[in-house]
Amino acid sequence: MPFNPLSVTRFAPVSELNSLLDDALLVVDPQAWFAARGRLSANPRSLVRAESLDEAVLQTIEHSPEAWVGVQRVMGLGGGTAIDTAKYLAWRKELPLILIPSALTVDAPFTDSAAVRRAGRIHYTGRVFPEAIYVDAALIQTAPKPLNRGGVGDLLSIHTALYDWKLSHERTGEPYDPRIAQQSAAILERLHAHTADIYAVNETGVRLIAELFCEEVYLCYQAGSSRPEEGSEHHLLYTLEHQTGRTYLHGAAVTLCALLAAYLQGNRPDELRALADACGVEYRAILHEASEQALRNALLTAREYALEEQLPYTFLMETPITLEQAQEALEWVQSK
């Protein structure tokens, strides 16, 4: 049976972890630490600030003897960077791991590998399973609402990823499981039914996002790949980040890329945009952050990047996107 992250997810306050802090190395991002501190009565054995997913930075922590004195467990408290840093360190050190997302910005707390950056490109480590994932709604609600709303980006990506998976099956014969695809599409339906809770970031919304992340990750394990949730939209984002040397708020940026991909796939883009808007994803902010030119370049070269990186087959591999198509997609996403 594949591992279901929901089986280790606890919808409980972080204060339950007080007794475990004494022999823990806690990786934090500073804002999350500030928010959680009042809820914890003990200090961790060792405190590490998450700064970057560059492997060189992670290795420096791994090889700092003073950070590991008396440490029996790794905990990660924060957003994507703190979570992935903790996962990386637990994996390298073969120590038990507890994850405490301070906002539901990405599905990283629920996946079984850590993202690391080598020479500006994202790679994934071997498998790492947490003993617990704490989803403390009160803590998560201290994060700015747009951060939590943006988390649905890694669910909205299902819309474009499923298109790519089926296309790949037709073109390359890659195995395709209609039952898993249907269950993955059902995640979008549940999201659709609860957009008001997502927008409000209330307890129901927080719990739903966590449960849907678990479901999505579990479907990926069953499929034996990330096909049920990752396709051209992620590849487009990786291209953009590689070209600009920057990282963007993941959920919002994935949403923007999913919208562009859906438009170019001819895959009900207006429906996806309505869902993203109802959840309050601020994907338009990414349009300002990354210039239009950078986005256009990413659209024009995503195919090359995907081929170079030997990424799974998607609609990007079909025929190169023309300048006119790229322009049209960018105008559509900015319209309204």
154 versus 215: smaller Cβ distance to Zn ion: 154
Minimum Å distance from CB 106 to Zn ion?
6
Q: Which of residues 27-46 bind Zn ion (CB under 5 A)?
A: none
Mark the segment that binds Zn ion (CB under 5 A) among 12-20, 148-156, 241-249, 265-273: 148-156
Which residue, 46 or 111, is less far from Zn ion as judged by CB? 111
Closest CA to 130 of 73, 79, 80: 73
The pair phi, psi for residue 113, each rounded to 5°, is -145, 160
In the chain, the amino acid numbered 48 is V
Where does this chain touch Zn ion (CB under 5 A) — which range of 29-37, 83-91, 152-160, 312-320? 152-160
306 sits in which H/E element = helix 292-308
CA 90 and chain centroid, separation: 19
Name, in order, each residue with C-beta under 8 angstroms of 162's C-beta and a sequence gap of 6 or more. Answer: 181, 184, 185, 228, 231
List, in sequence order, the alpha helices (H) in 266-291.
Answer: 269-279, 284-289
With CB under 5 A as the contact rule, which of the stretches 16-24, 72-80, 154-162, 289-297 interacts with Zn ion?
Answer: 154-162
Q: Which stretch binds Zn ion (CB under 5 A): 17-25, 35-43, 64-72, 147-155?
A: 147-155
Least Å distance between CB 213 and Zn ion? 10
Q: Residue 255, CB half-sphere, CA atoms under 13 Å: how many?
A: 32
Closer to Zn ion at the Cβ: 197 or 233?
Answer: 233
Tell me how crowded residue 116 is: count the other CB atoms within 10 A of its CB. Answer: 23
Size of the site for Zn ion (CB under 5 A): 1
Q: Is 241 in the site for Zn ion (CB under 5 A)?
A: no
The residue range among 14-22, 153-161, 238-246, 312-320 that interacts with Zn ion, by the rule CB under 5 A, is 153-161
The structure tokens listed for 261 are: 């991909």
Rule CB under 5 A: say whether 154 interacts with Zn ion: yes
Q: How far from 145 is each of 9, 92, 142, 240, CA to CA, in Å?
A: 22, 34, 8, 25
CB of 84 to Zn ion, least distance (A): 12
Q: Does 216 bind Zn ion (CB under 5 A)?
A: no
Alpha-carbon distances of 94 from 86, 89, 312, rounded to whole Å = 11, 8, 30
Nearer to Zn ion, 143 or 220 (CB): 220
* Per-position x/- string for 43-82, each x denoting binding to Zn ion as judged by CB under 5 A, each - no binding: ----------------------------------------
Output 26 or 279, the one with its CB closest to Zn ion. Answer: 279
Cβ(214)–Cβ(110) below 8 Å: yes
Q: Which of 154, 241 has the CB closer to Zn ion?
A: 154
Instruction: Quote the least distance from Cβ 151 to Zn ion, whole Å.
Output: 10
Find the part of the chain contacting Zn ion (CB under 5 A) among 91-99, 146-154, 275-283, 322-330: 146-154
CA dihedral 22, 24, 27, 31 (to 10 degrees): -20
Contact 305, 242 (CB under 8 A): yes
Residue number with CB closer to Zn ion (24 or 237): 237
Closest CB to Zn ion among 154 and 216?
154
Chain contacts with Zn ion (rule: CB under 5 A): 154
